[in-house]
Structure 1
Amino acid sequence: MEETDEIRGMALPLEEEADLDPLMDRIGDARCVLAGEASHGTHEFHIWRAALTRRLVEERGFSFVAVEGDWPDCWQVHRSVTLADGSPEDPTRALDAYRRWPTWMWANAETAHFCRWLRERNALRPTGERVGFYGLDVYSLWDSLRSVVLYLHEYHPDYVETALEAYRCFEPCGEDPQTYVRSLRLVPEGCERETVELLCRVRHSLPAEAADPVERLNIWQNAEVAAAADRYYRSMISGGAEAWNVRDIHMADTLDRLLHFHGDGAKAVVWAHNTHIGDARATDMARGGIVNLGRLVRERHGADGVVLVGSATAHGEVVAAPRWGAPMEVMPVPPPPPDTLEGLLGGAGTGPEHRALFVFADRPDARWLRARLGHRAIGVVYDPVREWRNYVPSTMGDRYDALCWIARTSALRPLHLEREGRGELETLPTGV
């Protein structure tokens, strides 16, 4: 009963963009705001995250948005929203071109709506002041390798053989990550030597004073992705936390690279799943040796310079797949158990449509923020029947700085249907 009273006392309205004022006050002069989603396939999480980002761009001068997506695909969106020569006038075209499963994570109407707004805003700004849109993830091995090969072929032909050597090393796998991982059981070193050599060559071939800064960033990052992707796949052999850690460290390194690229005073908004942006030290992930983006960014930029915003829902619908690589479905999200975060917040609400914003600095000693509670995490793979597997024990007051609570949620709106695909290998926590 005491916790219910605390929750009701802390709950702030969350009905319109102006209701984000208390969160904006909490953000203050922070350099990095990481905005999470409890599930990839939920309409409301995308909408409120976009609303917060618009305000950060307009009112606080944030420099770019970095998402849990592939660098090459997001680069095409970046080119569109920054009005690069030859890019699509409508960013929806770039998003609709996503083909690697699960496409709906970013190829959706909600992301397209935000990116159209971003392009319109950027059109009113000088080139150097336009807000970017980048991908942080590690999965685009073959696309990134092709980008590097094409660049070196045109500008540094003496280095092409190094790039082709890396590409040929992976070529027998037919762009299938699972085939590559299986091959590592016979040849454990895989293509490590080739990708490291390629990265070194790219770094050497791109002196700052001799290269277009934008193209330099793109090619350098593609080489970083290739090297990190090889580490990621090799780490799959040993299992455990290593693969997850390789991925999140790569995302944190990419974020730092982007902050450096945008210069002194640069500020970043990150869009990713709660399991990436909430501090892993406040969950049982830490017990398994897992680090994550939220923890790394806090450690690198200081707690005062970083604000972590989580999200949660009680029930509704979500877009997900029943198994890895399967076509997406609209699935029901069942009501949560009463002894979870979602059950506690739902029990304290005023009805099925209840929404609230919680800013934890207002009541850091609240009992529900210090308690260890299961917190639902729905990935791209979801089985509502086995709902119990989706709860991550967490101390909310340490995991986030704020939380957006939306009791009833609805499914994301994908831009296109997708066929069943091989996709990438699954990591733990499942599909996030």
Structure 2
Amino acid sequence: MDRQEKLIESIKKHGVRFDTYDDLDAIVEAAGYKEFVLLGESSHGTSEFYTIRAEITRRLIEEKGFAIIAVEGDWPSCFTVNQYIKGFIQGDARSSLKDFDRWPTWMWANEEVLELVKWLKDYNDLAKTKVGFYGLDVYSLWESMEEIINVLEKISPENVESAKTAFACFEPFDRRGENYAISSAYYGEDCTEEVIRVLIDLQKKRKSYPKDKEGDLNLEVNSLVMLDAERYYRAMAKGGAEDWNIRDTHMVSALEKIMLAHGNGAKAVIWEHNTHIGDARATDMAEEGLINVGQILREKYGEKVFALGFGTHHGTVIASKEWGGAVEAMELPNAQSGSWEDSMHRAAAHDQYLLFSKDNEMEFSEVIDHRAVGVVYHPEMEHLGNYVPSRMAKRYDGFIYIDETSALVPLKY
């Protein structure tokens, strides 16, 4: 029996078929007593990944006391959703997603997320402990600075000039991070001093942060975004691991600020791509000097973390052929022969999940290729760069496999 045949037999032995959401009880139980539940995805454009994550999230909220949803999205646009579902602003679920206007808009402005937002609003209207929806990403430099200026004009007009000066420093770059990256790397023109000046002024006014409607948390995380986004864009043009590591370290820092704001006993569900939530030490990312959210959280919080990977064998997916390009539904070809997804399919061509444990981890710890699809995707070329060598039982605590998947449905306004 060769290596893959042994793996297939192990999947048959430990895999659990599921046909309805009720069949996911074991996953909810395994995750329910953790503080950080990381729910992944092997693409940013697969409907089933979103709907299954939403169902697991609902159950963790209702049955296990989770009150934080943190996603791979921009803080300002996610905070609009947060304000809506908590009743701090008026409107409707669809309009609360309009702020997701930075490409790739479909990641969060989609029909699947819309249904979750509707449910969260209904839940919060009746709940004593309201669930929050927050963005962890680092990209929203300009939007975060605008929010800082808006808040400072209300709580500290005498300090708003430093923020306006910093904003003016970034304005020539046309709200494009790559323009700032090139300027700082090749022409020595950056806005680092201006950013630091704003942060010093904000620190002096910390006691004045608005407490109403999470205004203090909003200002604190926007300040963190401003600091780390400037660092991130400066690192972009240099190549190497630094920009990736700044981004994932930022996402953990933002998450920790959210957890702190929610107090003792806070429990969070995190939605991000597998490349962020699956422990980087169990992949070839480690050889490139890359760290990620899953690794950092495991190193800091150990057994309080539960990471669930997601994958599929074939179907359709939403993506673009180039960065900033038009979105389209594409065919997702059959998984590459010998890959993790191919092995799952050969073991059983139906939806199933695995929970990794000390009893079976040796059976799933050999390196195997594991598919990862980004927002830019070329199906005909995926064998050249869409597979991450991984030790599955060390990368995740569990894995959900959907045999055939369908494309996400972007919102139309």
Q: 1:79 aligns with which of 59, 62, 83?
A: 83
1:310 paired with 2:309, answer: yes
The aligned residue for residue 31 of structure 2 is 27
Asked whether the equivalents of residues 339 and 368 of structure 2 are also in contact (C-alpha less than 8 Å), the reply is yes
* Aligned sequence identity (%): 42
How far is 1:189 from its partner? 6.1
Partners of 1:178 and 1:366 lie apart in 2 by: 43
Unmatched 5+ stretches in structure 1: 418-432
Partners of 1:180 and 1:337 lie apart in 2 by: 39
For the residue of structure 1 that corresponds to 2:188, the secondary structure is coil
Q: How many corresponding residue pairs?
A: 408
The aligned residue for residue 337 of structure 1 is 336
For the residue of structure 1 that corresponds to 2:126, the secondary structure is coil
The aligned residue for residue 252 of structure 2 is 252
For the residue of structure 1 that corresponds to 2:375, the secondary structure is coil
The aligned residue for residue 427 of structure 1 is none
Asked whether the equivalents of residues 281 and 399 of structure 1 are also in contact (C-alpha less than 8 Å), the reply is yes
Q: 1:209 to 1:179 in 2, by over 3 A?
A: closer
How far is 1:412 from its partner? 0.2
Partners of 1:47 and 1:161 lie apart in 2 by: 45
1:70 paired with 2:69, answer: no
Asked whether the equivalents of residues 6 and 366 of structure 1 are also in contact (C-alpha less than 8 Å), the reply is no
1:324 paired with 2:323, answer: yes
Partners of 2:277 and 2:370 lie apart in 1 by: 14
The aligned residue for residue 421 of structure 1 is none
Greater Cα shift, 274-283 or 149-158: 149-158
Q: 2:398 aligns with which of 402, 424, 427?
A: 402
Q: 1:322 to 1:58 in 2, by over 3 A?
A: same
Amino acid at match of 2:33: D
Please give the per-residue CA displacement for 1:186-231, whole angstroms capped at 9, x wherever unaligned: 4436111111221222222121787437101111111111111100
Q: How does 1:121-132 map to 2 (within 5 A)?
A: 121-126=123-128, 129-132=129-132
Q: How does 1:406-425 map to 2 (within 5 A)?
A: 406-416=402-412
Amino acid at match of 1:4: I
Partners of 1:260 and 1:386 lie apart in 2 by: 44
Partners of 1:123 and 1:45 lie apart in 2 by: 27
Amino acid at match of 2:8: T
Asked whether the equivalents of residues 96 and 415 of structure 1 are also in contact (C-alpha less than 8 Å), the reply is no
- Aligned-CA RMSD value: 1.5
Partners of 1:244 and 1:335 lie apart in 2 by: 29
For the residue of structure 1 that corresponds to 2:55, the secondary structure is helix
Partners of 1:46 and 1:210 lie apart in 2 by: 34
The aligned residue for residue 51 of structure 1 is 55
Partners of 1:365 and 1:248 lie apart in 2 by: 26
Q: 1:373 aligns with which of 354, 368, 371?
A: 368
TM-score normalised to structure 1 length:
0.92
The aligned residue for residue 184 of structure 1 is 184
Asked whether the equivalents of residues 185 and 234 of structure 2 are also in contact (C-alpha less than 8 Å), the reply is no
Partners of 2:35 and 2:99 lie apart in 1 by: 32
For the residue of structure 1 that corresponds to 2:190, the secondary structure is coil
Greater Cα shift, 260-269 or 166-175: 166-175
Partners of 1:253 and 1:189 lie apart in 2 by: 27
Amino acid at match of 1:358: L
The aligned residue for residue 194 of structure 2 is 194
Please give the per-residue CA displacement for 1:401-430, whole angstroms capped at 9, x wherever unaligned: 00000010000010028xxxxxxxxxxxxx
How far is 1:378 from its partner? 0.3
The aligned residue for residue 429 of structure 1 is none
Greater Cα shift, 18-27 or 250-259: 18-27
1:355 paired with 2:345, answer: no
Partners of 1:312 and 1:295 lie apart in 2 by: 20
Amino acid at match of 2:216: R
1:111 paired with 2:113, answer: yes
Asked whether the equivalents of residues 80 and 99 of structure 2 are also in contact (C-alpha less than 8 Å), the reply is no
Asked whether the equivalents of residues 374 and 391 of structure 1 are also in contact (C-alpha less than 8 Å), the reply is yes
Greater Cα shift, 2-11 or 68-77: 2-11
Asked whether the equivalents of residues 148 and 163 of structure 2 are also in contact (C-alpha less than 8 Å), the reply is yes
Please give the per-residue CA displacement for 1:24-80, whole angstroms capped at 9, x wherever unaligned: 222242100000000000000001100100010001100210000000000000011
TM-score normalised to structure 2 length:
0.96
Partners of 1:326 and 1:28 lie apart in 2 by: 39
The aligned residue for residue 3 of structure 1 is 7
Partners of 1:410 and 1:285 lie apart in 2 by: 28
Partners of 1:148 and 1:66 lie apart in 2 by: 21
For the residue of structure 1 that corresponds to 2:106, the secondary structure is helix
For the residue of structure 1 that corresponds to 2:198, the secondary structure is helix
Partners of 1:203 and 1:212 lie apart in 2 by: 19
Asked whether the equivalents of residues 72 and 136 of structure 2 are also in contact (C-alpha less than 8 Å), the reply is yes
Amino acid at match of 2:56: L
Unmatched 5+ stretches in structure 2: none
Please give the per-residue CA displacement for 1:105-124, whole angstroms capped at 9, x wherever unaligned: 00000011011101101000
How far is 1:298 from its partner? 0.9
